[in-house]
Amino acid sequence: MDISTIILLVILAIAVLWAITAYNRFVTLKHNVSESWSNIDVLLKQRYEELPKLVDTCRQYMTYERETLERITELRNDCNQRRAEGDVTGLAAAEGLLGGAMTGLLARAEAYPELKSSEHFQRLLARISALQDGISDRREFYNESVNINNIRREQFPDLIIARLFGFGAFTLFEVDEQVREDMDMRELFKR
């Protein structure tokens, strides 16, 4: 074999190795995004299963807050439906509304010492708080995984493999701007 054939084979081998490596990175990124979404989904399912218990317990103590509790149930059902449909954008918006409603419920509990002192209510509040924190942490991990994937698929030369094999972008799990605003606690107590 002459030197030009050897050089051509070496270049071809390097290109094939790079393509295999890039493809495998995209597969890994895709599965990281799926795993991180699954982690969010597990916590959301736990929250959806535990919220009715919270609502039932709260109803025993807060019959006059029925409207708030019904709204939380309605929002929970909406989130559950969007999660089942795989609507990440819609779920993020619905989750924001549910989180706001839960914050309102917690703020109202501060106004009623007899409710606040209930052992059952305290345990449920602690569990909801832990779930909310876990969802927030998992959402951050999911968005990081999505961001890494989306950046990688736009970088040259990896974008060649991404386009060739159809590795797509994923949607970030973002909360609506209205939910990010500071809450006026006095308004929550007026409701």
**Which of the pair, 50 or 147, is modelled with greater confidence?**
147
Q: Which CATH architecture has domain 3-190?
A: Up-down Bundle (1.20)
Quick check: 146 pLDDT over 80?
A: yes
pLDDT of residue 191: 41
Q: Is 157 exposed, middle or buried (0-12, 13-18, 19+ CB in 10 A)?
A: exposed
pTM, two decimal places: 0.54
**Which of the pair, 59 or 100, is modelled with greater confidence?**
100
pLDDT of residue 60: 63
pLDDT of residue 16: 93
Residue 110 structure tokens: 């501060």
Query: Rounded to an integer, what distance in angstroms lies between the CA atom of residue 49 and that of residue 52?
Result: 6
- pLDDT tens per residue, range 118-131: 666 677 777 777 88
Query: What's the Rg (C-alpha) of the chain?
Result: 24
C-alpha distances in Å from residue 126, one per residue of 120, 129, 135, 188:
10, 5, 14, 20
Q: How high is the mean pLDDT of the chain?
A: 76
Query: Rounded to an integer, what distance in angstroms lies between the CA atom of residue 152 and that of residue 34?
Result: 16
Contacts for 33 with CB less than 8 Å, ≥ 6 apart: 142, 145, 146, 149, 170
**Which of the pair, 114 or 141, is modelled with greater confidence?**
141
- Give the residue carrying structure tokens 């890494």: 148
Handedness of CA 158, 160, 166, 170 (dihedral sign): positive
Q: Is 65 exposed, middle or buried (0-12, 13-18, 19+ CB in 10 A)?
A: buried
- pLDDT tens per residue, range 19-36: 999 998 889 988 888 888
Contacts for 175 with CB less than 8 Å, ≥ 6 apart: 92, 93, 95, 96, 99
Quick check: 181 pLDDT over 70?
A: no
Angle value at C-alpha 126, between 125 and 131, nearest 5 degrees: 95
Contacts for 57 with CB less than 8 Å, ≥ 6 apart: 118, 120, 121, 124
Quick check: 13 pLDDT over 60?
A: yes
- pLDDT tens per residue, range 37-57: 887 887 787 777 777 766 666
The DSSP-derived string for 70-125 is HHHHHHHHHHHHHHHHT-HHHHHHHHHHHHHHHHHHHHHHHH-HHHHT-HHHHHHH
